[in-house]
């Protein structure tokens, strides 16, 4: 396929961009002259190496300042936003499907940035930066491909009893927990869209499957993003279905950031669903913020994961040590077991934690010794094949939903 690296592509030119499912940066095919032909072999301006592409498949033409796509009576047709077309006008963000290859059309016109600013800018002050429409499209397209192929990697961190170094539980994490900000995945993942919710559920399901496949026992902590609380019906449905798959030997625990405790308390459905499903509740909090969690004792969390820059340093400061000891005692009194995070596997660090009053901690390294890889690759058998037209229609709908969700959140 004749493309250029995006960094070398003139963004002022109209262009077709191709996004690989694996998540690499998009490739760019600038449209420098008209007519711009698309086909399987040269002298087409854009060649697509596929037997399903005709030798002369389609052409992009300029007419009175506008661009249009025209099918050249190809065998397998040309699709625009999931619909077969003989001829159609092109606008920013359109998804053009040639056989089984998808491209996103961008006009390169100045108004693209202004339209994107209205959609994506949180503030309109002098320091606000326009977010090109391409960034939203990149995020949605990448996340959509991850969802279709279930290409989310998962890993497991052991939780260890400091007294005997026995593993008493596991905490799941995945490749979508830290969005790729360079590719603007966070735009999608931090929205309350159905696409983002589905991705998080896929990560939880895959973590549970890996946990069960390795015949691990005790408890498994699975992450819930606070933004999921905005659609409590979907979240409770997802967690309920997840709980149905849990073997008897496993206790499933939903873990959220401590700042979400107030939201959870105001949401009657979630605690009720967790209790009915036999699931526990946990929070992640810094030592300083953990005192606030004590205000939500009614939620009865089974665990609180406490983080600190240096537990060793805290142990050497009388005031900090006294504060931490009091917080730990309060959690234990309410039946909540604290877990220390952010330490090394050094024996001295473990002794510091024991001396402070911790009984549990995340193990930081040597996970491979436990026969659990740091990252579990996506299962090829779980990948889903979808029709290009269906995929294009779904992506367009997801772009619209994510945009609407972001607009709604900023208007609150």
**Residue 325 scores a pLDDT above 80:** yes
Q: Which residue has the higher pLDDT, 264 or 344?
A: 264
**Residue 6 scores a pLDDT above 90:** no
In 287-330, the DSSP E strands lie at 303-307
Nearest CA-CA partner of 139 in 108, 116, 107, 173: 116
**Residue 231 scores a pLDDT above 90:** no
Across 145-154, average pLDDT:
78
Assigned token pair, 93: 């963000």
> Residue 128's pLDDT band (boundaries 50, 70, 90)?
very low
Q: What is the pLDDT of residue 150?
A: 79
Whether cis (ω within 30° of 0) applies to the bond prior to 3 is no
Across 99-120, average pLDDT:
58
> Residue 277's pLDDT band (boundaries 50, 70, 90)?
confident
**Residue 240 scores a pLDDT above 60:** yes
**Residue 133 scores a pLDDT above 60:** no
Q: Please state, in angstroms and as integers, the Cα–Cα distance from residue 380 to each residue in 20, 169, 197, 384, following that order.
A: 17, 28, 22, 9
The alpha carbon of residue 323 and the mean position of all alpha carbons in its chain are separated, in whole angstroms, by: 36
pLDDT > 90 fraction of the chain, expressed in percent and rounded: 24
Across 132-137, average pLDDT:
61
Q: Which of 12-26, 53-67, 123-137, 233-247 has the lowest mean pLDDT?
A: 123-137
**Highest mean pLDDT out of 170-174, 190-194, 399-403:** 170-174
Report the DSSP beta bridge partners of residue 18: 27
**Residue 32 scores a pLDDT above 90:** yes
Which residues have CB under 8 Å from 165's CB, separation 6+? none
Q: What is the pLDDT of residue 295?
A: 73
The dihedrals phi and psi of 208, each to the nearest 5 degrees, come to -65, -40
Across 76-98, average pLDDT:
87
* 135 φψ region: left (φ > 0), alpha (ψ -120 to 50), beta (else): alpha
Q: What is the pLDDT of residue 265?
A: 85
DSSP state of 376: B
Q: What is the mean pLDDT of the chain?
A: 77
CB-based burial of residue 165 (10 Å sphere; 0-12 exposed, 13-18 middle, 19+ buried)? exposed
Q: What is the pLDDT of residue 371?
A: 38
Q: Which residue has the higher pLDDT, 347 or 292?
A: 292
- For 292-318, what is each residue's pLDDT tens digit? 777 777 888 999 998 877 787 888 888
| Euclidean distance between CA atoms 180 and 20, whole angstroms | 15
Nearest CA-CA partner of 313 in 343, 293, 336: 343
Q: Which residue has the higher pLDDT, 204 or 411?
A: 204
């Amino acid at each position: 396929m004749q493309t250029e690296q995006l960094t070398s592509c003139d963004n002022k030119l109209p262009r077709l961009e191709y996004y690989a499912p694996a998540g690499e940066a998009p490739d760019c095919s600038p449209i420098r002259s008209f007519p711009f032909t698309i086909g399987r072999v040269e002298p087409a301006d854009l060649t697509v190496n596929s037997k399903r592409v005709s030798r002369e498949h389609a052409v992009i033409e300029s007419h009175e300042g506008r661009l249009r796509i025209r099918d050249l009576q190809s065998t397998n047709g040309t699709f625009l936003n999931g619909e077969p077309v003989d001829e159609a006008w092109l606008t920013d963000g359109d998804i053009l499907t040639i056989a089984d290859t998808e491209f996103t059309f961008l006009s390169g016109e100045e108004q693209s940035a202004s339209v994107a600013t209205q959609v994506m800018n949180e503030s309109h002050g002098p320091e606000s930066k326009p977010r090109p429409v391409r960034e939203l499209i990149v995020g949605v397209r990448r996340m959509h491909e991850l969802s279709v192929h279930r290409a989310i990697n998962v890993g497991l961190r052991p939780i260890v009893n400091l007294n005997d170094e026995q593993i008493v539980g596991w905490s799941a994490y995945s490749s979508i927990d830290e969005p790729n900000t360079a590719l603007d995945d966070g735009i999608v993942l931090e929205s309350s869209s159905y696409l983002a919710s589905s991705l998080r559920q896929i990560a939880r399901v895959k973590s549970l499957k890996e946990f069960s496949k390795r015949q691990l026992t005790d408890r498994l902590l699975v992450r819930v993003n606070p933004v999921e609380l905005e659609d409590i019906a979907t979240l409770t449905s997802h967690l309920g279905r997840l709980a149905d798959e849990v073997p008897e030997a496993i206790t499933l625990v939903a873990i959220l950031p401590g700042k979400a405790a107030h939201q959870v308390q105001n949401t009657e459905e979630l605690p009720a669903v967790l209790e009915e499903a036999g699931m526990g509740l946990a929070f992640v909090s810094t030592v300083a913020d953990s005192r606030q969690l004590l205000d939500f004792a009614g939620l009865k969390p089974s665990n609180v994961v406490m983080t600190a820059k240096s537990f060793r340093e805290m142990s050497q400061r009388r005031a900090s040590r006294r504060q931490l000891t009091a917080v730990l005692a309060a959690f234990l009194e309410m039946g909540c077991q604290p877990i220390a995070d952010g330490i090394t596997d050094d024996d001295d660090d473990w002794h510091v934690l024991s001396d402070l009053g911790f009984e549990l901690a995340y193990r930081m390294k040597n996970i491979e010794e436990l026969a659990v890889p740091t990252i579990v690759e996506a299962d090829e058998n779980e990948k889903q094949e979808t029709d290009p037209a269906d995929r294009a229609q779904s992506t367009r709908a997801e772009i619209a939903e994510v945009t609407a969700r972001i607009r709604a959140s900023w208007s609150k």
